[in-house]
């Protein structure tokens, strides 16, 4: 009787669709990197602490107070996700907040002023957990990183270069010499106008910056390998796509790279075949491509300003935007053939949700600097913590990872997943010590997907006719 019941149960599973109990894989066919904007764990994820903060700081390393530049303990103030204050998150903003102890080579994280907190212009804030409930749910249901740091010490353009290519240096030789683009005036990469200024940081200048001037045109159109290079040269070739709301957006990492952009003669248009095929200037197309069973091997998803989580603009679409992508993958009927069996997108896709920089918000965890001042990479690496949520069918419920990660860890994960040598770019991927593999257990049966509840769904974004705002201007 028991044997018959077991047989009937297996027939029932087969009739219901793909056999989730048998669809085992050894690596993912797709990696989706969703890159949001300007937040820290202490600022965005206080909702993980639970009732009476019983879950903080263990297992979630979150703190609801900070220390200001006068040594005072400052409780974090609750604000809405759409708050209008946009703190300083320049490279000099990092230097100030860090307040480096040159004896220990560690940030004291006590450089911020609390003088204007009573007026609402203060970095000692946290977002109302109700406003970001989908994010909290994703972290609770899947994987959370306690120690994810942005690689660079500054704002968005350089951060996106690290996430896409492992460096913001103009060349591989510059990366080796720890010379990085930190900031900019008109950061449009190969499409930057004549005399646009990029700010560089090097061991000789740090913590100060110096100018790289776009004269002649194309001076800031850089040449070095990126993750796209590794995917293109992989045997068999692996596909990629970069969804972004504008050819010259400061978030559009491929427009810095000459081999991808292949600018026209007056540097006003990217004309390369890879740019045309692999850079998509409508972020919502990621939903369309998933629906059409056309998800590439690796994709980077950059939101419009309305959905970016960037403070200062009043927008609140980010949690719903991210949830719509996760739900689209989780519920997709699309399949791949892996080891002779059909597996769904949910069963063979890893979703990495992170934020490109700390946005100037307080966070209590000091980054580990890679070297002492004036002696290498530590003059620009690492920056402050940013959130990282990892979603897959092989991530345990409520998993918390305590490895120290950075954007280089994401690149190492891509390399590891597709059988490349970890550190193959020889940039941030080589300097990182971790690769995110702790978030996944392929020996367990794939989990059944449960949709993430959010205020707005897929149809809203597919039918949103508002002009796309840039995700960031800093």
Closest CA to 356 of 148, 77, 144: 148
Q: Which tokens belong to 267?
A: 């540097």
Q: Which two tokens stand for residue 101?
A: 């102890």
* Residue 168's CATH number: 3.40.720.10
Can you spell out the DSSP letters for 254-305? GGGBHHHH-B-TTSS-B--HHHHHHEES-TTHHHHHHHTT---SEEEE---G
Interval 188-199: pLDDT, tens: 899 999 999 999
- Nearest alpha-carbon partner for 98 in 367, 386, 357, 356: 367
Q: What CA–CA distances, in Å, run from 259 to 229, 268, 374?
A: 9, 15, 32
The pLDDT, as a whole number, for residue 188 is 87
Tell me the residue length of the chain: 474
Residue 300 and residue 31: Cα distance in Å, rounded? 9
Residue 474 lies inside a defined structural domain of this protein:
no
Q: What is the 3-state secondary structure (H, E, C) of 199-220?
A: EEECCCCCCCCEEEECCCCCCC
What is the domain range of residue 199?
Answer: 19-462
Mean pLDDT score across all residues of the chain: 92
pLDDT of residue 187: 72
Alpha-carbon distance of 76 to 64, in angstroms, equals: 5
Walk along the chain (474 residues) and give the pLDDT tens digit of each residue.
Answer: 333 333 333 333 333 334 444 567 999 999 999 999 999 999 999 999 998 999 999 999 999 999 999 999 999 999 999 999 999 999 999 999 999 999 999 999 999 999 989 888 999 999 999 999 999 999 999 999 999 999 999 999 999 999 999 999 999 999 999 999 999 877 789 999 999 999 999 999 999 999 999 999 999 999 999 999 999 999 999 999 999 999 888 889 999 999 999 999 999 999 999 999 999 999 999 999 999 999 999 999 999 999 999 998 889 999 999 999 999 999 999 999 998 899 999 999 999 999 999 999 999 999 999 999 999 999 999 999 999 999 999 999 999 999 999 999 999 999 999 999 999 999 999 999 999 999 999 999 999 999 999 999 999 999 999 887 777 666
Task: Report how far Cα 392 is from the mean position of its chain's Cα atoms.
Answer: 16
251 domain-assigned = yes
- Per-residue pLDDT tens digits for 69-79: 999 999 999 99
Domain count, the chain: 1
Beta carbons within 8 Å of 96's beta carbon, 6+ residues apart: 88, 111, 112
Report DSSP state, residue 242: E
Q: What is the pLDDT of residue 16?
A: 36
Q: Interior CA angle at 305 toward 200 and 87, to 5°?
A: 55
User: What integer pLDDT is reported at residue 119 of this predicted model?
Assistant: 86
Number of C-beta neighbours around residue 237 at 10 A: 10
- Answer whether the bond into residue 162 is a cis peptide, omega within 30°: no
Reported as a single tens digit per residue, the pLDDT across 13-41 is 333 334 444 567 999 999 999 999 999 99
The runs of H, that is alpha helices, within 382-457 are: 407-417, 428-431
- For residue 8, the model assigns a pLDDT of 34
Residue 53 placed within a domain:
yes
Q: Residue 376 and residue 202: Cα distance in Å, rounded? A: 8
Could you tell me if residue 7 is inside a domain? no
CA-to-CA distance for 351 and 32, rounded, in angstroms? 5
Q: Which residues contact 389 (CB under 8 A, 6 or more apart)?
A: 135, 138, 139, 142, 143, 144, 145, 352, 353, 354
Residue 332: how many CB atoms within 10 A of its CB?
A: 17
Can you tell me which residue has the tokens 């040449």? 223
**Helix axes of 156-165 and 407-417: crossing angle, nearest 10 degrees:** 20
Q: Is residue 350 part of a domain?
A: yes
What is the pLDDT, as a whole number, of residue 283?
A: 97
In a domain, residue 189? The reply is: yes
Q: Are 178 and 195 in contact (CB under 8 A)?
A: no
**Residue 313 DSSP label:** S
**Residue 472 confidence (pLDDT):** 65
């Amino acid at each position: 009787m028991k044997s018959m019941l077991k047989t009937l149960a297996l027939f029932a599973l087969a009739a219901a669709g793909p056999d989730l109990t048998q669809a085992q894989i050894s690596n993912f066919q797709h990696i989706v990197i969703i890159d949001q904007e300007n937040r820290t764990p202490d600022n965005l994820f206080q909702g993980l602490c639970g009732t009476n903060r019983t879950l903080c700081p263990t297992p979630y390393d979150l703190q609801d107070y900070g220390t200001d530049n006068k040594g005072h303990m400052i409780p974090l103030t609750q604000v809405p996700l759409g708050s209008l204050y946009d703190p300083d998150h320049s490279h000099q903003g990092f230097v100030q907040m860090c307040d480096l102890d040159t004896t220990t080579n560690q940030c004291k994280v006590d450089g911020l002023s609390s003088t204007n907190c009573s007026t609402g212009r203060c970095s000692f804030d946290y977002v109302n957990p109700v406003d970001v409930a989908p994010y909290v749910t994703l972290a609770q249901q899947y994987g959370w990183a306690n120690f994810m740091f942005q690689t660079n010490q500054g704002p968005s353009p350089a951060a996106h270069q690290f996430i896409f290519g492992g460096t913001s240096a103009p060349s591989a030789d510059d990366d080796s010499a720890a010379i990085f683009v930190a900031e900019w005036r008109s950061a449009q990469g190969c499409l930057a106008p004549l005399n646009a200024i990029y700010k560089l940081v090097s061991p000789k200048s740090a913590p100060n910056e110096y100018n790289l001037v776009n004269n002649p045109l194309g001076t800031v159109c850089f040449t070095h390998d990126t993750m796209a290079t590794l995917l293109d040269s992989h045997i068999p070739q692996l596909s990629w796509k970069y969804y972004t709301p504008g050819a010259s957006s400061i978030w559009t990492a491929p427009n810095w790279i000459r081999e991808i952009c292949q600018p026209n003669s007056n540097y006003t248009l990217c004309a390369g075949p890879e740019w045309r095929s692999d850079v998509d200037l409508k972020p919502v197309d990621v939903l369309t491509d998933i629906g059409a069973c056309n998800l590439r091997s690796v994709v980077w998803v950059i939101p419009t300003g309305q959905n970016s989580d960037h403070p200062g603009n009043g927008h609140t679409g980010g949690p719903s935007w991210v949830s719509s992508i996760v739900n689209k993958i989780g519920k997709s009927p699309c399949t791949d053939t892996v080891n002779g069996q059909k597996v769904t997108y949910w069963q063979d896709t890893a979703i990495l949700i992170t934020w490109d920089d700390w946005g100037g918000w307080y966070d209590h965890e000091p980054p580990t600097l890679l070297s002492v001042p004036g002696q290498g990479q530590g003059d620009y690496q690492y920056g402050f913590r940013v959130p990282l949520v990892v979603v897959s069918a092989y991530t345990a419920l409520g998993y918390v990872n305590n490895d120290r990660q950075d954007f280089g860890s994401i690149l190492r994960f891509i390399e590891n997943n597709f059988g490349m040598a970890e550190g193959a770019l020889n940039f941030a991927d080589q300097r990182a010590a971790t690769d995110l593999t702790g978030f996944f257990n392929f020996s367990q049966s794939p989990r059944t997907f449960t949709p993430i509840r959010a205020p707005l769904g897929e149809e809203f974004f597919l039918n949103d006719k508002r002009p796309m705002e840039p995700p960031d201007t800093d």
